[in-house]
Amino acid sequence: MRPSVGRAIWEQERDIADPAAMSAIAGECGLDAGKLGARANEPDIAARYGALTQEAIARGIFGAPTYVFQDELFWGQDRLDFLGRKLAK
């Protein structure tokens, strides 16, 4: 299984605010960290981030991770079982 940012945060407790950590995670995923970092700083990405932040606020999302399925919020890694049961229906 390939590494991911979610796994880095929730399972490995890595600091994704640290550019060196994010660079390492990108490399582990087979991505070019330099290109990824440059793309992350482009204006359209900042606009998308702002729009998604506003959407999260409008939906009442207050923390991470939050999953939304059929307009129902599942907040926290410990709620993944509930989400799994909902998806299985």
3-32 residue pLDDT tens: 688 889 888 999 999 999 999 999 999 999
Number of domains making up the chain:
1
CA torsion sign, 54 to 55 to 56 to 59? Answer: positive
- Angle between helix axes 19-28 and 33-40 (nearest 10 degrees) is 120
Strand residues in the chain grouped as ranges (E)? 66-69, 72-75
CA angle 68, 53, 33 (to 5 degrees): 95
Q: Which domain holds residue 34?
A: 1-41
Residue 16 lies in a domain: yes
Residue 68 lies in a domain: no
Residue 11 lies in a domain: yes
Residue 46 lies in a domain: no
Residue 60 lies in a domain: no
* Dist CA 75 CA 2 (whole Å): 24
Residue 35 lies in a domain: yes
Please tell me the predicted confidence (pLDDT) of residue 1: 47
Residue 77 lies in a domain: no
Q: Is the peptide bond before 65 cis (omega within 30 degrees of 0)?
A: yes
Residue 28 lies in a domain: yes
Please tell me the predicted confidence (pLDDT) of residue 3: 64
